[in-house]
Structure 1
Amino acid sequence: MLASCYRESLRVADELGARTVAFPAISTGIYGWPMEDGARIAVESVRVTETAVEEVRFVLFDEQAYEAFAAQLR
């Protein structure tokens, strides 16, 4: 389900002709998805999704999120 959010967002970005996209750590706040798992799913989903988007940024609001995403990007 979470991976689908990233895939569909990239699909819509392609339809709109967007070259860049910024994502928060979807569902890891009030919805309680574990940050490490959310980071893994986000990064993996963006990596494997075919898209014309040239740049994806993850906009993160605290050190825990930053560390979780940084670990997945190594």
Structure 2
Amino acid sequence: MTVTIGFHAAADTRVDLFTYGTEGTPILDLSGSEHSLTISAFSRVSNADHLAFAKALATAAAEYVTALETYAAAHPDGS
């Protein structure tokens, strides 16, 4: 199955991490007044695969920050 999702953060978007120590995998939640996105893994996903996904997500998020900083520096008035 393939799913494509667009998520557009708003001014009220929160990013929360819920951890459960050794009892369960963490849950990353992005939510606001009219939107929500939860990232986790099913128990059938191996820890190695889940960890590889999390590392790829972290790398992409860091690259996103760098790209956004470049854009923001070129458009300081927000336009």
TM-score by length of 2: 0.33
Structure richer in strand, relative to its length: 2
Instruction: With the length of structure 1 as denominator, give the TM-score of the two structures.
Output: 0.35
Work out which of the two has the higher radius of gyration on C-alpha atoms and give 1 or 2.
2
> Per residue, is there more helix in 1 or in 2?
1
